[in-house]
Amino acid sequence: MAVAPSKKTPALSSGFEPVPPCVGIGFKPVHFDGILNTLPNVGFLEAHPENYMVAGGPALRQLEAMGEAYPLSLHAVGLSLGSPGPVDAGHLDRLHRLVDRFQPALISDHLSWCRDGEVYLPDLLPMPYTEEALTVVSDNVSHVQDVLGRPLLIENPSTYLKPKHADMDEAEFLNALCRRSGCGILFDVNNLYVSAANVGLEADAYLAAMSKDVVGEIHLAGHKTETGAEGTVLIDDHGSTVADPVWDLFSRAVEHLGPIPTLIEWDTDVPPLEILVGEAEKATNLIKKSLKSESNDHAA
């Protein structure tokens, strides 16, 4: 499908210094003292900026301390890039001020919508993969990037229903979005696994469509399985360790994409810090194993 060229295509690596291909963890205030006292061997910390869009107070002081110890990634949930019409100006201004203050290595949000006019909804809702929706998201992403002066990474969603109308599949939509806006992709491996189980996405075909030129970060998380009268569904709840099949898919992603900054995401039933660090160590070891295997293949 032909896609119109972007009017503005900021390079993924321009305007900021991204973190190297290491493994980070999501920052939770409950871990603040533990991180400061032990300085665990993780590559970066990721936070939701909506929790820090305030003028001052202890939350901002905690994030400032974390930013002095580690590179930061800001993973937004409220831009609602798929809503028709412009992004909320007040929300974007608060994000802009936070970005200017903390100079994060990475900034991301989701391929979704969560706002209808002045009303914000308590979930990230799916997009129809149509040309009309592509234009909406591309315009909003381009506007956000222009305001921030930085490229965004856009995360693939976890899906539970197939859209009734579609002009392209999800991977095509994301790649077209990158071409039009100059954004990159935050490739959530768990979301792909969940979507493959729920709506029949072909995980390996999807992965093959991803390019290392546009994937700037990977997310790993846990999910839960719910079974009812209508069948079984996987829920992307970020509330447990990464499942073995997701680790397998991550290994294939690293083989295809090479080493990329990777985050262990855990937002519900938050565990002790050492469990998060252990998950990060497991991801690091899988990356090393994949790179060693690739090196041996080239030497053979």
138-147: pLDDT as tens digits: 999 999 999 9
**Amino acid 116: pLDDT:** 67
Predicted confidence band at 300 (pLDDT cuts at 50, 70, 90)? low
Q: What is the pTM of this model?
A: 0.90
Task: Point out the least confidently predicted range of 20-24, 36-40, 287-291.
Answer: 287-291
Residue range 79-95: mean pLDDT, rounded: 92
Per-residue b/e over 223-252, b at no fewer than 16 CB within 10 Å? beeeeeeeeebbebbbbebbbeebbebbbe
How does residue 78 score in pLDDT terms, banded at 50, 70 and 90?
confident
| Element housing 297 (H / E) | helix 273-299
Taking each continuous run of H as one helix and of E as one strand, the counts in the chain are: 9, 12
3-state secondary structure 118-180: CEEEEEEECCCCCHHHHHHHHHHHHHHHHHHCCCCEEECCCCCCCCCCCCCCHHHHHHHHHHH
- What domains are defined for the chain? 23-299 (3.20.20.150)
